[in-house]
Amino acid sequence: MERKMAAALLAVLLLFSLTGCGTRPDGADTAQKGSGPESTQVNGTTGTTQGGSGADTDQGGSTARLSFQGADGWDFQKNMNQSAFGSMGELCKAETGYYFQFGDTLYYLEGAAGRVTELCAKPDCAHENEDCNAWAGAFALWYSGGRLYFARRDFEKRGESFTELGKHVYAVDPDGTGRRQVMSLELQPVRGRPLSSFDNPICHRGQVYFVYNGALYAVPLEGDAGEAERIWGEDYSAGGGEGGYTAYDPNEPHYTLWADGETVYFMLIATQENGARNQTLYAVEPAAKSVKKVWEVPDGEQVGPWETTGVSVSQWYVLNGTIYFYLSGGDFWKTDLAHGETVKVADTHEQTLYGTAVFSDEYMCLLNDHPMINPATGEPWPEGGFHEGGDTVYVYRLDGTLMRELPLGGLWDTLGEIESFYPVFCDGDALYLIADAGRMVPIPGGAGSQKSRMDALCRLDLETGAIREITRWENWT
């Protein structure tokens, strides 16, 4: 049973990874154009469009309360790696704003609620193809030591065919110019199809941690991946076929990398001694070169039933040696990683049984969405991987105090028929979310109507409940 569920989860992970990767060799993935400042959808600097709450005191732009202290440092940005929205999973914070990728395009959000612009200053650029400075197709985005970095898969196009060149890291100046390839994430030159590792690399204190052929490696930022140090796991390419080719192995471990202070963590979906495939957290002490298993997803006997029992927690966050985790269909828990004691932080089911959470160092913001139901089985599909709906955010402090209950309904005034919300990240006193609206629009030429999708990035002030649209992408299908 666990195996089946894990396989389904893995499929979802791969699906997300694939859809998140813009450099697909079929060339079908063109960059989606967001609304630039000319499109008049950016409210931050003018304040002319208020959110629908009626209590909007957020002035946006430079007057909004910022939380960029330490953003110029070298640490993994924990709260920027919480996105629950597949098209906006790559985010990082700089001294004066946020960088993010939507579709394949990099954007800059000025201040906490200011203008959103493509990260491209080329005159007359339509920001529509690979010639644009903002075009990235990245699967990871970092800000480290005052520079923006992104990782992506590269391909060489010859006629109609594409050759895989492997994964590389690029450095970019803060204004989007000066892009240069600074390192590879391949230990050996790629010949043909790469192995199935889509696990996101992270950068922490000058080291890049990345997964290659199923094993975890570390190498200095901008260093030579060929000299990377293997930290954990066996290289799956050992004994592989021609050119390092190895068929997809469903038992290959998948990593979610993390860092907190001196410790680097990785969450693995891996086969346990009892044969079950569970989420397991390992702690790496780089100085001591030690790796230790510190946590395993609790089973229902310990914490009660939840949506994806036995496979994965819904969302988690490691801070100061404690893992905080939310179980959709259950509650909010934490485990002291030094002592292994798991305790309930809050009875979140009293507010909402299901949901999607994002964490920061201060808060857990919980959206009351619910699992998507497979109409054929009447069960959540696929095993809790997708959520929909949601109209209220519950803001908990990490000590379990329910601080706010914030309705999102005000957005309906400006956005129309909202189908679902996706929490993207929480920073300072704000939660950023995507409102996904689906509308029927006429097909040009009078051939009936079709569904048009519009995604709006919105900012919810956790103190006042004021909500405002920051930018939107229309006709996003």
Nearest CB to Zn ion, comparing residues 120 and 357: 120
Nearest CB to Zn ion, comparing residues 37 and 321: 37
**Window 166 to 195, contacts with Zn ion (CB under 5 A):** none
Cis peptide before 382 (omega within 30 of 0): yes
- Closest distance between Zn ion and the C-beta of residue 473, in Å? 16
Contacting residue, 6, 92, 112, 120, with Zn ion by CB under 5 A: 120
Q: Under DSSP, is residue 395 helix (H, G, I), strand (E, B) or coil?
A: strand
Query: Is there binding between residue 33 and Zn ion (CB under 5 A)?
Result: no
Query: Is there binding between residue 132 and Zn ion (CB under 5 A)?
Result: yes
Nearest CB to Zn ion, comparing residues 132 and 281: 132
Chain CA centroid to CA 168, Å: 19
* Selected range binding Zn ion among 36-44, 130-138, 272-280, 406-414, rule: CB under 5 A: 130-138
- Closest distance between Zn ion and the C-beta of residue 32, in Å? 13
Query: Is there binding between residue 13 and Zn ion (CB under 5 A)?
Result: no
**471-474 long-range CB contacts below 8 Å, 24 or more apart?**
471/34, 471/35, 471/41, 471/42, 471/107, 471/109, 471/116, 472/34, 472/35, 472/41, 472/415, 473/32, 473/33, 473/34, 473/35, 473/102, 473/103, 474/35
Query: Is there binding between residue 127 and Zn ion (CB under 5 A)?
Result: yes
- Closest distance between Zn ion and the C-beta of residue 131, in Å? 8
- Closest distance between Zn ion and the C-beta of residue 102, in Å? 14
* Per-residue x/- track, 307-336, Zn ion (CB under 5 A): ------------------------------
**In this structure, are residues 331 and 303 in contact, taking their beta carbons and an 8 Å threshold?**
yes
Nearest CB to Zn ion, comparing residues 18 and 126: 126
- Closest distance between Zn ion and the C-beta of residue 86, in Å? 23
Give dist(CA 398, CA 291) in Å, integer: 27
**In this structure, are residues 326 and 314 in contact, taking their beta carbons and an 8 Å threshold?**
yes
Query: Is there binding between residue 31 and Zn ion (CB under 5 A)?
Result: no
**In this structure, are residues 465 and 51 in contact, taking their beta carbons and an 8 Å threshold?**
no
Q: Under DSSP, is residue 436 helix (H, G, I), strand (E, B) or coil?
A: strand
- Closest distance between Zn ion and the C-beta of residue 172, in Å? 13
Residue 27 in tokens: 């060339």
Of 37, 96, 91, residue with least CA distance to 61:
96
* Per-residue x/- track, 371-410, Zn ion (CB under 5 A): ----------------------------------------
The phi-psi region of residue 213 (left if phi > 0; otherwise alpha if psi is between -120 and 50; otherwise beta) is left
- Closest distance between Zn ion and the C-beta of residue 459, in Å? 25
Query: Is there binding between residue 125 and Zn ion (CB under 5 A)?
Result: yes
Nearest CB to Zn ion, comparing residues 126 and 443: 126
Residue 53 in tokens: 């709450």
User: For 205, phi and psi rounded to 5 degrees?
Assistant: 55, 45
- Closest distance between Zn ion and the C-beta of residue 117, in Å? 10
* Selected range binding Zn ion among 120-128, 264-272, 295-303, 320-328, rule: CB under 5 A: 120-128
**In this structure, are residues 246 and 236 in contact, taking their beta carbons and an 8 Å threshold?**
yes
**Window 250 to 279, contacts with Zn ion (CB under 5 A):** none
By rule CB under 5 A, what count of residues binds Zn ion? 5
**In this structure, are residues 31 and 128 in contact, taking their beta carbons and an 8 Å threshold?**
yes
Residue 293 in tokens: 């298993």
Nearest CB to Zn ion, comparing residues 129 and 272: 129
* Selected range binding Zn ion among 124-132, 256-264, 299-307, 421-429, rule: CB under 5 A: 124-132
Please, what is the end-to-end C-alpha distance for the chain in angstroms? 35
Nearest CB to Zn ion, comparing residues 117 and 368: 117
Of 439, 403, 408, 438, residue with least CA distance to 423:
408
Task: Kindly give, in sequence order, each residue whose CB lies less than 8 Å from that of residue 102, ignoring residues fewer than 6 positions away.
Answer: 32, 34, 87, 88, 455, 457, 473
Nearest CB to Zn ion, comparing residues 127 and 167: 127
Nearest CB to Zn ion, comparing residues 31 and 283: 31
- Closest distance between Zn ion and the C-beta of residue 89, in Å? 21
Residue with tokens 């097909």: 443
Nearest CB to Zn ion, comparing residues 23 and 117: 117
* Per-residue x/- track, 78-117, Zn ion (CB under 5 A): ----------------------------------------
Residue 157 in tokens: 């196009």
Nearest CB to Zn ion, comparing residues 112 and 172: 172
Give contact residues for Zn ion (rule: CB under 5 A).
120, 122, 125, 127, 132
